[in-house]
Amino acid sequence: MNEVSECLKSFREWRLSNSKFAEITGLKFLLRMSVQQFAQPKSSANGYGRREVEREGGSRVDNKLHSGKSSIGKMANTHYSGGNKIGGFGGASRDRLVYFSTCLIGHHVEAQVKNGSVYTGIFHAANVDRDVGIVLKMARLTKDTSTQLQNTRADSLSKSFSKTLIVPAKELVQIVAKDVSVTRDEISNEYQSEKQEELLIDSYISRARPGDMERELKPWVPEDNDPHCPELENVFDDHWKRGWDQFEVNEALFGVKSTFNEELYTTKLERGPRMRQLELEASRIAKEIEREDTRDLHLAEERGTNLPESVDIDEETRFSSVYRGRVADDCGYEEEENILLDTRNGETFEDATSSVIGKVFSGITGGIDTGDSLLSSRSSMDVPQVSQSKDSADTLSIEMPDIHDRLLLPHLPTTLSQSDGEIRFQQTITDPQRANTDTGGGDQQKSVSHTKFSSVLKIEDSQSSSGEHDDFHNADGKGGPSSKVTSSTSSQASIRGRSKKNPPGDPLETQGGEKLSVESHGRPGSSVSSTSDRPGRASASAGTGLTPSSSVGSLSSEKSTLNPNAKEFKLNPNAKSFVPSQATVRPISPVGDSSFYFPANLSGIPQMHGMPVGVGLGPYVAHQPVIFNPQAAPVQSPQAYFPPAGPHYGQPMLIGHPRPYSYGPGFPPEMPYKGREF
Amino acid sequence: MDVASINSNAEEFAIGCFLSIKTTFGDEFKGQVVAFDRPSNFLVLHILFGGGRKNVRILKANYIKELAFLGQGDDPVDLSKCCLDLSTLQAREELALRQAEAEAERIGVGVTAEAQNLFDALSKTLPVRWDKTVIVVMNEVRVNSPYVPESVSGGTPAANERVKKVLELERRRLHARGGP
């Protein structure tokens, strides 16, 4: 150290003799420079100006410095060891000075020198010995007052960088550093964020250009408290409080007459003596719905309730993403919901004459609605619902992680009116065992493909099961696979039986209907309801053996437990065709992408009759008995018939004309059906 | 030297006090004293802006022309938090150096401001670099001074055309804006 100081001293003297301030370019300024190096500038006639050395001893901050934490105290110590006579106050102050200078390392600073010129560069080091001199790296002159050239043209002057610039103490006037972080946390934060900036982000690139300088921002002050400004707090007050009717004003000011007729957009309300009563009823129902227990994240959010598990879910799932059924946290709900849907569907669609609405459910549990009486009774009140649901392509939610156990295709009654084509379903009623034991890809595939379509199948269900929902137990309890679905039965594949949804379904079921639900989870051997949370809900399908093609929809990507040899998988040329009233297929997200064949032209078809494929996948594809006829736009081009990629796809539809037509999965998803029909 | 003699009274530079300073060069600012080093006569000031960020000025007291005492405050520095990690600092410095060097590459030496502006504009969409005073685009097309579309040469015809076009547009835009 001593020799270094010696050299430094000598150089200081040497530099003092130079009045001219010159830049040193390309000089590597290393701490532990050898004496020879120090000597070099002296000998060379480069006109190296003054050189300022960095701090002596351990207080030198340089690249060569060993890393490690350093504190002011440490600095002070080394400084003291330099033999400076510093008083108490001065010592502390000196420490601070040292500290702040250290804080500046790596920072962009502006250094002003005696002649007024300003240099901008990266702070590299400072010598705070007796006087403060600094070293800047990549410095350039930004303000030049030394020469006659006023910095009018940003010519080469400001553009040439000096690799190293030393500003001796004598020259230094001030150092200005902007946005300096002083504490350790600040520094590391700053560094972290700067590190990220190394990636060339746009803002960084544009920063290179001296574009807009920041303006000083002043807070906005309204002028004269403009009386025309409406009170912002009251803007969203109820209209009766506001005393402001926009239509009135519009008419008054501009003569614009409103031609709004509410009845154009909604059902005409019967305003009569019964109005009040109806209103009350409606609001009661509304409250009931709103108070309903929901397991859907989004619904819960809307209602303001918090699902217990919602705390850990990430924001995207919670607020943004579309529910696809496979959401882990929501797994259970789907089934519930589907069951509810099914119950509703049962009510809605059991009318024999109503068209079959295909629904695709991923998990199917539940029973088949049976009992004509029940059905008809239901259907009557559901007619509006039916139409509505039929119209909307997305009445039923299709979320199904589970897979059908089996794909049961009901015999559709000829009463299916809606769709034009014929769809033949195969009765898939099988023994419960069969249903349960059904395994294999066939099932899977069926289910999967069905998921694509939303169709509420009407299932002729001859089983008039006990209407108790609890009767969803194993087929044993129910009667064998039924038979034909009564035309009035609409089967709904309830997607997942969930015990929670029981209550809403209960009243319906007690009416004697059974919901047909196909349990779709690839668990063989268990009763259909095996995946259902609902204890009571044995897969009715198991019991009834009737799987609505809608259940087809509830295919999920799990292993199918369908029995490849099930009756439903065999082509039944005499089967009645099934014409779903509406078909929206909801792609099952869990299914691998490859399994989705989404024929391009399918998107052109607004409403597909969801044709759940009643056929097993794979080998059964060939036996596709289902003929599907899309209601709306004709299918442009027949799709190539491709076997399902995964185990989940059933081969769907055939178009009305006997042309094998395979739709891949990937129909537009159906919106979850969460309504009620009354 | 043109240094105004200043009263470097220790009391005036008590830590924490707010001062309004005017330097001999005409800089005016207000700040809070953070440190004052008598031997070297350097004053360290915090100039606070809104948002928690502060500028630091290290000023040699000799160059204070005018000084006004605004008030006394507490020590703005929390000594317990003042701990420096040299490795972070060095890393930061290296980072800054890298960035500065990258930037330096973008700036032509001995070129007019107009040329530099054109270079910057071109660099927004094309890879450009300087070769003395020639703008080299995509390593093929060269644009010499005076950086008009006619001075574009080299490269494939397509690239050439493109550079010409961009150059023209940029020129037009710069002129519309008033130019450098």
**What is the signed CA dihedral for B168, B173, B177, B178, rounded to 10 degrees?**
0
Instruction: Determine whether the interchain pair A187/B85 forms a contact, defined as Cβ–Cβ distance below 8 Å.
Output: yes
What is the average per-residue pLDDT within A532-537? 42
Tell me whether residue B95 is in a domain. Answer: no
CA B126/CA B131 separation, integer angstroms = 15
Q: Are residues B108 and B172 in the same domain?
A: yes
Q: Does residue A265 have a pLDDT over 50?
A: yes
What is the average per-residue pLDDT within A493-520? 41
> Who among B23, B97, B113 is closest to A154 (CB)?
B113
Find which of A59, A97, A165 to mutate to test the B interface (most B CBs within 10 Å of its CB).
A97
**Tell me: the pLDDT tens digits for A410-441?**
444 444 444 444 444 444 444 444 444 444 44
What is the average per-residue pLDDT within B77-105? 79
Which residues constitute the domain of residue B40?
3-72
Tell me whether residue B121 is in a domain. Answer: yes
**Tell me: the pLDDT tens digits for B7-51?**
445 545 678 888 888 888 888 888 888 888 877 888 888 887 666
Q: Are residues B8 and B52 in the same domain?
A: yes
Instruction: Determine whether the interchain pair B35/A86 forms a contact, defined as Cβ–Cβ distance below 8 Å.
Output: no
Tell me whether residue B135 is in a domain. Answer: yes
Tell me whether residue B8 is in a domain. Answer: yes
> What residues have CB less than 8 Å from A46, skipping those under 6 apart?
none
**Tell me: the pLDDT tens digits for A543-590?**
444 444 444 444 444 555 667 676 667 677 777 777 666 544 544 444
Residue A91's pLDDT is: 63
A618 or A108: which carries more pLDDT confidence?
A: A108
Tell me whether residue B91 is in a domain. Answer: no
Cis, bond preceding A660 (omega within 30 deg of 0): no
Residue A410's CB is within 10 A of a number of other CB atoms, namely: 41
Averaged pLDDT score across all residues of chain A: 55
Q: Are strands A172-177 and A162-167 parallel, antiparallel or unpaired?
A: unpaired
Highest-confidence range of A47-51, A196-200, A570-574, A642-646, by mean pLDDT?
A570-574
CATH value at residue B9: 2.30.30.100
Q: Are residues B11 and B59 in the same domain?
A: yes
Residue A283's pLDDT is: 92
Q: Is the pTM of this model over 0.90?
A: no
CA B23/CA B87 separation, integer angstroms = 35
Q: Are residues B64 and B14 in the same domain?
A: yes
Cβ A609 vs Cβ A582: under 8 Å: yes
Tell me whether residue B79 is in a domain. Answer: no
Q: Does residue A472 have a pLDDT over 50?
A: no
Highest-confidence range of A151-165, A386-400, A524-538, by mean pLDDT?
A151-165
Tell me whether residue B28 is in a domain. Answer: yes
CA A553/CA A486 separation, integer angstroms = 20
Q: Are residues B61 and B109 in the same domain?
A: no
B15, B49, B72: which is the final residue of a domain? B72
Q: Are residues B68 and B120 in the same domain?
A: no
Residue A335's pLDDT is: 54
Q: How many helices (H) and strands (E) does chain B have?
A: 3, 10
Tell me whether residue B93 is in a domain. Answer: no
Q: Are residues B112 and B157 in the same domain?
A: yes
> Who among A90, A132, A138 is closest to B101 (CB)?
A138
ipTM of the complex as predicted: 0.76
Q: Are residues B109 and B68 in the same domain?
A: no
Q: Does residue B157 have a pLDDT over 80?
A: yes
Instruction: Determine whether the interchain pair A69/B92 forms a contact, defined as Cβ–Cβ distance below 8 Å.
Output: no
Chain B residues in contact with A65 (beta carbon < 8 A) = 86, 90
Distance (Å) of CA A311 to CA A300, A302, A307:
12, 15, 8
Q: Are residues B67 and B8 in the same domain?
A: yes
What is the average per-residue pLDDT within A375-382? 42
Residue A284's pLDDT is: 92
Residue A391's pLDDT is: 43
DSSP for A397-443 reads ----SS--S----PPPPTT--S-SS----------HHHHHH--BHHH
Q: Are residues B110 and B168 in the same domain?
A: yes
Domain count within chain B: 2
